[in-house]
Amino acid sequence: IWTRLAPQPMQDDAGLDPVALTVRWELTEEGGTSPVQSGTVEALPQWAHSVRVELKGLRPHRVYRYRFLCAGAISPQGRFRTAPAPDQAQSLRLVFASCQQYEQGFFGAWRHAVADAPDLVAFLGDYIYESSWGRNHVRKHDAGVPQTLEAYRRRHALYRSDPDLQAAHAACAWLPTWDDHEVENDYANDLSERGTPSDRFLLRRAAAYQAYFEHMPLPWSMAPKGPSMPIFGTLDWGAMVRLHLIDIRQY
């Protein structure tokens, strides 16, 4: 489960001092009133005060709700369903999504996805767009093409400000990976579309990867190390489905 503390998300410091903050989390089975698990975790400024808790010991194929509390503020509730036991073959209501360009349209499709009560969202890349293109924009990116960690953080924060996208994150678990626009259009490994020298481009890629990790519900084992952040793994949905999570941009 994930959250980020950001009272002023479009500011470079998100409205927070550069100190660690203690966040309490609570997990409740759907229909229950008392937490079945709870704890505290530190939100660190070097990770944009983002928080991730890797839960263990949950019952299979159960719906849980969670929330975060910090300094008198309480987050909206999130919801997720755990996978079935390995020998069970339960149904899976899966949403595939990608390529959500903020300027080209509102995110009403997420409203319909939430209404369908999905078990899981598999997001296949281009969660943000670094560039602006086309005409007749319904809304605008913040100024400029991001090059720095602070700029990529603001771009993610802008996308996360959309209420339908927020509702989709709160509705179920997500399995995210990226394509190219999370960094730059058509980049591959250390090769920039615009011919930027590799050493400079890798600094930009490191900034983009860190901002991506800070805003996605990925485990600490996938935390970036500079410009390196391979995303690989599998998820079994009982005996019915095996999903393979792969990274196609970093070779």
What pLDDT is recorded for position 202?
Answer: 97
Tokens in use for 183? Answer: 């960094």
* Cα Dmax for the chain: 57
Which residues, other chains included, contact 190 with Cβ-Cβ below 8 Å and sequence gap of 6+?
Answer: 198, 201, 202, 205, 227
Task: Note the pLDDT of residue 90.
Answer: 87
Cα–Cα distance, 178 to 200 (Å, whole number): 21
Q: Quick one: which H or E segment has residue 73? A: strand 73-74
Token pair listed for 150: 């602070």
pLDDT the model gives residue 251: 46
Q: For residue 40, give the 3-state DSSP assignment.
A: strand
Rounded Cα–Cα distance for residues 33 and 212 (Å): 34
pLDDT tens-digit map of 144-200: 999 999 999 999 999 999 999 999 999 999 999 999 999 999 999 999 999 999 999
Type of residue found at 57:
G
At residue 249, the pLDDT reads 62
DSSP state, residue 142: S
- Degrees to nearest 5, angle at CA 82 with 225 and 242: 70
Buried b (16+ CB within 10 A) or exposed e, 116-151: eebbbbbbebbbbbbeeeeeeeeeebeeeebbebbb
Alpha helices in the chain (DSSP H): 108-115, 149-160, 163-171, 198-214
Residue 244's SS3 state is: strand
What are 226's two structure tokens?
């500079």
> What pLDDT is attached to residue 126?
97
| pTM across the whole model | 0.96
What is the pLDDT at residue 250?
Answer: 58
Q: Please name which of 221, 160, 176 lies closest in space to residue 3, comparing C-alpha atoms.
A: 160
Q: Which of the residues in the chain have pLDDT under 50?
A: 251
DSSP label at residue 222: G
